[in-house]
Structure 1
Amino acid sequence: MPFISVRITRDGVTKEQKAQVIAEITQTMQTVLNKDPHLTHIVIEEVDTDNWGYAGITTTEYRKNLAESAS
């Protein structure tokens, strides 16, 4: 029984997009590893951009800096 956890930032991802991600990961598991789709579990965890960071800052701050440098 495969269990797959997907973490993304919470910023405008639609219900339809998440459904597509679930369907395509499930299909990939079936195609590549011959896993039964009825036994494949996918969990999408949405993380606030204040709780996701890299380069020493939060994603919120990084995107703010990027927007400011683009203007």
Structure 2
Amino acid sequence: MRNSFAAREGARLLKTPSPRRRAGRRRLAAVCGVLALALASGLIGSLTAGGQDPRSPETGPFSYFPHQ
């Protein structure tokens, strides 16, 4: 009697990726997601930033420190 799991003619099953390859894909997806989020937030920030009036005082995290 033939084994039902024996390789026969027809479509072959694909090998499943190894755990190392799956971890690499997850890592790549996470890095691409972070880069896409950074790009989108930078684009939105540059589009929504209003024009700075040159006479307005400079404000920011280091504006309280004296500089020459």
TM-score after normalising by structure 1: 0.31
Report the structure number with the largest CA radius of gyration: 2
Higher strand share: 1
Q: Given the two structures, how large is their TM-score scaled by the length of structure 2?
A: 0.32
- Relative contact order higher in (CA < 8 Å, ≥ 6 apart): 1
